C-alpha cells in the first residue's frame, strides 16, 4: 500500500481512491462503499507461557447498492480491479433480487465533518517483541505470587473510509491497544484489563499487580446466600451493564419497534438522579470515532441527564422512522441491530471505591460480570455471573472472597438504586464508567466456585 508519510496503514487518498473505483463500476441508482484497512497483532499466554503470536493485515470493502427501493450488500477483501468490479456486481444483483424496502430512507448526503481522528504511532509500533515484554512482566509477577497467568495482549491499527454517490467522503484512522489477564490459584482467580488508543498508556505491571492481589485476597472463598445484596460494582461490571443498555434502551430502532424499555418514557426519571450518561465519539476518554458507517458525523448525545431519559441514538433509517435526524450511529452495512452508542461516558462522582467500601456495613464487591445476556430487552432485564474477584464486605472492610453468584436484575431499576458514584473511570470497549454502589442488587443462585 502506498501511504503518505504520516498515515499509519492507508491514507485518505488511497482509501477513497478504492471507493471511487468501486463506485465508477456501478450502474445502480445509488451506491455506498466502506473501505476498512487493518493490521492486528495478538499475543496470547496461558499457564505462565506465551503460546500464540499472530499478525493479520487485510483490506475489506463493503458495497451497499440501491436499485429502486431495494438494497443489496456484498463484501470482499480483494481490492484489485477485478475484485472491485465483482463485489459491485454482486451487491447490485442482490439488490435486484431483494424485496423492496419501503422504509429505506435513501443514502445520506454529505455533511460537515470534524478533523479526522488520527491513530497513535505508539500502538502502531507495539509489535511482537513489545507485546512479549509486556506479557513477560505479567508472568513474572504471577510466578512470584505462586499463581498462574493467562490472557492476551493486542495492538490494532485501522483506517476507515466511507464514500457514496451522493457526495459523502469521509476518512479516519484508529488504534486500540488491549491487555487482559486472569491470574489463578488453587481456589481463586483475579482479573485486570485495560484498553487505550496509545499502547504506552497500558501499564502491564500495574495490571498484573491488580490481578494478583484480587487472586490472593479471594482465596478460600466462602459461600453466601443469594438474595438482595448491597453491591459495589467496579467499572468493568458497570461497562457490561451499559453495553446492554446501549443495545436495548438507547437504540433508535428498538424505540421505534417498541422493544426499548424507554418506549413512552422519554422525559421521565428512569435512573438515580446522580447518573448522567452521554455518548460522544470524540471524547478522549473513549476509543474515538468521528463518523459512522454511513459517513455521518457522530453527534454528542445526552442519553440520561440526572437520571432523566432524554434521547436515543439514530442512523438514517431510525431517524427517518421517528422524524429525527441521524446522530451518526449507523452500524456496518447489512446489520439489522440498529444504531448503538459506542462511546458512552457515565459522569463520575466524588468518592473512591475505598470510601464506598468503608461506608458499607455488609455487602459485596464485584470485580466484573461474566456470561451476561439479555433476558427481556423490553423490561431491561439481564442476567449473568460474578467472576474473578468477588468479595464480602463487613463493617466497612473486605473480609474475604466469596463463591460466585448468578444475578438476574432489571438494569434501570438497579440504576435507580445507585447510592454512590465513583470518581475514577475506566475505559471499556463501548463505555467509560466509574464504579457504582447499588442497594438491593438481586442475586438468584450461588455457585460452587
* Domain shared by 314 and 265, yes or no: yes
pLDDT, one tens digit per residue, over 424-440 is 999 999 999 999 999 99
* Domain shared by 234 and 117, yes or no: no
The CATH number that applies at residue 153 is: 3.30.2290.10
* Domain shared by 157 and 248, yes or no: no
Q: Please report the pLDDT score of residue 3 as a whole number.
A: 53
Distance CA 390, CA 313 (A): 34
Close Cβ partners of 369 (under 8 Å, ≥ 6 residues apart) = 236, 237, 240, 241, 384, 385, 386, 387, 407
- Where do the DSSP E strands lie in 134-185? 148-164, 169-184
Residue 441 in domain:
yes
Q: How far apart are the first and last CA of the chain?
A: 51
* Domain shared by 226 and 301, yes or no: yes
* Domain shared by 103 and 225, yes or no: no
3-class DSSP state for residue 264? coil
For residue 116, give the DSSP letter. P
* Domain shared by 154 and 31, yes or no: yes
Handedness of CA 95, 96, 101, 106 (dihedral sign): positive
**Domain end marker among 171, 201, 231:** 201
Residue with cell 433476558: 375
pLDDT, one tens digit per residue, over 290-299 is 999 999 999 9
Q: Are 349 and 421 in contact (CB under 8 A)?
A: yes
Residue 207 in domain:
no
For residue 296, give the DSSP letter. P
* Domain shared by 317 and 364, yes or no: yes
* Domain shared by 389 and 443, yes or no: yes
Q: Which three cell numbers stand for residue 401?
A: 472472597
Query: Is residue 4's pLDDT more than 70?
Result: no
Q: Which three cell numbers stand for residue 243?
A: 453495553
* Domain shared by 304 and 425, yes or no: yes
Give which of 149, 185, 183 is closest to 46, Cα–Cα: 149
Q: Enter the pTM of the model.
A: 0.97
Q: Are 385 and 407 in contact (CB under 8 A)?
A: yes
Q: Which three cell numbers stand for residue 386?
A: 460474578
Range of the domain at 97: 12-201
In a 13 Å sphere around the CA of 162, the CA atoms on its Cβ side amount to 27
pLDDT, one tens digit per residue, over 270-310 is 999 999 999 999 999 999 999 999 999 999 999 999 999 99
Residue 393 in domain:
yes
Residue 3 in domain:
no
Q: 6: pLDDT confidence band, cut at 50, 70 and 90?
A: confident
Structural domain total, the chain: 2
Residue 430 in domain:
yes
Residue 154 in domain:
yes
Amino acid at each position: 500500500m502506498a501511504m503518505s508519510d504520516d498515515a499509519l496503514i492507508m491514507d485518505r487518498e488511497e482509501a477513497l481512491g478504492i471507493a471511487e473505483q468501486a463506485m465508477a463500476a456501478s450502474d445502480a441508482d445509488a451506491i455506498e462503499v466502506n473501505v476498512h484497512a487493518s493490521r492486528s497483532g495478538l499475543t496470547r499466554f496461558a499457564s505462565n507461557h506465551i503460546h500464540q503470536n499472530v499478525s493479520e493485515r487485510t483490506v475489506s470493502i463493503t458495497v451497499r447498492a440501491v436499485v429502486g427501493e431495494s438494497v443489496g450488500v456484498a463484501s470482499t477483501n480483494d481490492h484489485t480491479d477485478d475484485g472491485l468490479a465483482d463485489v459491485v456486481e454482486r451487491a447490485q444483483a442482490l439488490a435486484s433480487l431483494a424485496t423492496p424496502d419501503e422504509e429505506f430512507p435513501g443514502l445520506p448526503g454529505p455533511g460537515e465533518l470534524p478533523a479526522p481522528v488520527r491513530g497513535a504511532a505508539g500502538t502502531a509500533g507495539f509489535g511482537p517483541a513489545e507485546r512479549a515484554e509486556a506479557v513477560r512482566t505479567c508472568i513474572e509477577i504471577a510466578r512470584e505470587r505462586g499463581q498462574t497467568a493467562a490472557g492476551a495482549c493486542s495492538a490494532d491499527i485501522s483506517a476507515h473510509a466511507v464514500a457514496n454517490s451522493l457526495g459523502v467522503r469521509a476518512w479516519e484512522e484508529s488504534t486500540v491497544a488491549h491487555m487482559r489477564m486472569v491470574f489463578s490459584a488453587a481456589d481463586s482467580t483475579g482479573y485486570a484489563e485495560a484498553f487505550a488508543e496509545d499502547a504506552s498508556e497500558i501499564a502491564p505491571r500495574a495490571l498484573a499487580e491488580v490481578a494478583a492481589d484480587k487472586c490472593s485476597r479471594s482465596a478460600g472463598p466462602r459461600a453466601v446466600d443469594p438474595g438482595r445484596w448491597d453491591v459495589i460494582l467496579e467499572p468493568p461490571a458497570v461497562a457490561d451493564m451499559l453495553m446492554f443498555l446501549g443495545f436495548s434502551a438507547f437504540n433508535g430502532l428498538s424505540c421505534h419497534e417498541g422493544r426499548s424499555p424507554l418506549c413512552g418514557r422519554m422525559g421521565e426519571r428512569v435512573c438515580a438522579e446522580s447518573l448522567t450518561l452521554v455518548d460522544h465519539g470524540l471524547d478522549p476518554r473513549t476509543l474515538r470515532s468521528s463518523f459512522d458507517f454511513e459517513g455521518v458525523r457522530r453527534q454528542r448525545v445526552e442519553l440520561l441527564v440526572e437520571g432523566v431519559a432524554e434521547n436515543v441514538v439514530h442512523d438514517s433509517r431510525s431517524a427517518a422512522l421517528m422524524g429525527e435526524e441521524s446522530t451518526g450511529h449507523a452500524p456496518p452495512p447489512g446489520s439489522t441491530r440498529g444504531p448503538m452508542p459506542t462511546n458512552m461516558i457515565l459522569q463520575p462522582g466524588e468518592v473512591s471505591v475505598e470510601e464506598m467500601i468503608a461506608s458499607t456495613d455488609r455487602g459485596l464487591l464485584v470485580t466484573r460480570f461474566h456470561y451476561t445476556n439479555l433476558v427481556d430487552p423490553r423490561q431491561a432485564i439481564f442476567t449473568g455471573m460474578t467472576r474473578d474477584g468477588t468479595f464480602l464486605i463487613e463493617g466497612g472492610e473486605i473480609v474475604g472472597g466469596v463463591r460466585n453468584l448468578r444475578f438476574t436484575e432489571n438494569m434501570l431499576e438497579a440504576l435507580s438504586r445507585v447510592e454512590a458514584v465513583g470518581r475514577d473511570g475506566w475505559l471499556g470497549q463501548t463505555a467509560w464508567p466509574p464504579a457504582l454502589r447499588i442497594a438491593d442488587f438481586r442475586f438468584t443462585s450461588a455457585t460452587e466456585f
